[in-house]
Amino acid sequence: MNGPDWLAEQVVGSLRAALERDPRDFVANPNGKVTVTEFYDYRCPHCIEIAPQVIGLIHAHPDVRFVFKEMPIFGSTSDHAARAALAAKAQGKDYIGLYQAMMAATPLTDADIDRLAAAKGVDVAAMNAPATMAKDQAQLDDIAKLAAKLAINGTPGFIVGDTIIHGEDYDSLTAAITAAEKKA
């Protein structure tokens, strides 16, 4: 194996804390023994396609932690959606419900984002406050830098153990989870 994936997989271990333990990220099944980290965008067609399968994996594998890394790459509406999700996490609201609702809303508009966030109990005014936006942008910048170090240039991108899975590759994702569970 050589090339960018091999190099990225070599640095996964050194980035493990940022990948798996950043307290700013939402985590499903926080007590799981194996961790899956997903980098995604709410407007990415491949992320939208695999989102129901990610939710299915969360329910089917309570022993697997799922770390959600907002990686908006499709413009300002994607940024807005990521900030809504970060607000849901920060405000203790229904992150997974908002994730599912935004993934299902196609095309996703800024008005949809505010409406869906409010429906999940997010304080939209607080979410759009300049101080909150600056804090969220710092997190999004950190995620983008982390993704670049791992040669994750598009969405979705998954990391399971030391394995990087690019794209909507459900079979590789489930195989990596199965292998990681056997090691755990």
CATH of the domain at 149: 3.40.30.10
Reported as a pLDDT band with limits 50, 70 and 90, residue 1 is very low
Average pLDDT of the chain, as a whole number: 94
Q: The domain containing residue 140 runs over which residues?
A: 4-183
Q: What Å distances lie between residue 18 and 26, 37, 167, CA to CA?
A: 13, 10, 21
Hey, is 135 helix, strand or coil? helix
Q: What is the pLDDT of residue 2?
A: 41
The structural domain count of the chain equals 1
Which phi and psi angles does 159 have, rounded to 5°? -130, 125
pTM of the predicted protein model: 0.94
Condensed to tens digits (0 to 9), the pLDDT of residues 117-168 reads: 999 999 999 999 999 999 999 999 999 999 999 999 999 999 999 999 999 9
